Amino acid sequence: MQKIKDIYITCEKGLELVAPIAKDAIQEIMNCFPAFKEAYPITILGNWKSEHSRTARNGNIILEPYESTDWYIGRAAQQSLSDERASGIKIKDGIIKVDGQISIDALYNDLSNDPYAKKIPQIQILLTKHDLYGTQRNGRLLNFCLGVSEENAFSVISTARFIKPNGRFDQEGFKTVVMHEFGHAIGLTRRGRKNTYEQLGSHCADENCIMQQQMNGDFSEITRRRLIFKAHGLPPICPDCITEGEKFFRNHLAKALSRNADFRNR
């Protein structure tokens, strides 16, 4: 099968060891759609930057717009200062440190306007170590959120709330949320689908499916069930989500074939 879109995983500096965990999670979802796995190859780009990412101006190094993962994170951090959700920003050895949260709204808006996404068909998965806050559709503040996604475009996921008090990283809990956000990116719970409900977006009503929503951000019970299902060779998503995912992939395959046919006929 021809390639339809690349799935690119990018991350903040310092999360290079977490990116493969995210890749495993995405592969676990794509395993539910074996006919389309080759059409959506997964590539880890890490702390991505283009050759044009930095410019020297008046003795200062400037991050060019859209040319690096650091630019996206820096913009979200600056927004958090304006929103008074952070008290300071420091950059040391290329690592951005923020006293407080960063804005998921800024990340969402900038990723929505990414010029590379318009040139290169892709779904981007951006991993940040910073805790996130944002705005609901009704304008109310979200004190924190684990991630956000735009269908057929991108997902943003924070690792901040998966660090346990003893310093250990909750890999399986993190993988559940990566799967959940990637599920939104491939349209598993689109509005109008049966067996869904509205709660910070459209979510699955099946209590055993990872595409349900947890308002308190605690996906531990969903993760426990997911691992039990996995041990028995069962998928992490319900039949309705699988049906919807197959529709998503078939639709985008048909569009890709149509574009190629138009190009050949010119």
In CATH, the architecture of 6-49+100-264 is 3-Layer(aba) Sandwich (3.40)
Q: Can you give the residue ranges of every domain in the chain?
A: 6-49+100-264
- 73-99 pLDDT, tens digit per residue, is 999 999 999 999 988 888 877 788 899
Q: Look at 10-19, 56-65, 185-194 and tell me which has the smallest mean pLDDT.
A: 56-65
**36-67: burial string, b at 16+ Cβ within 10 Å, e else:** beebbebebbbbbbeeebbeeeeeeeebeebb
- 90-125 pLDDT, tens digit per residue, is 887 778 889 999 999 999 999 999 999 999 999 999
- 28-79 pLDDT, tens digit per residue, is 999 999 999 999 999 999 999 999 998 987 777 889 999 999 999 999 999 9
Question: Which pLDDT belongs to residue 249?
Answer: 96
What integer best gives the mean pLDDT of the chain? 92
Asked whether the beta carbons of 181 and 224 are under 8 A apart, the reply is: no
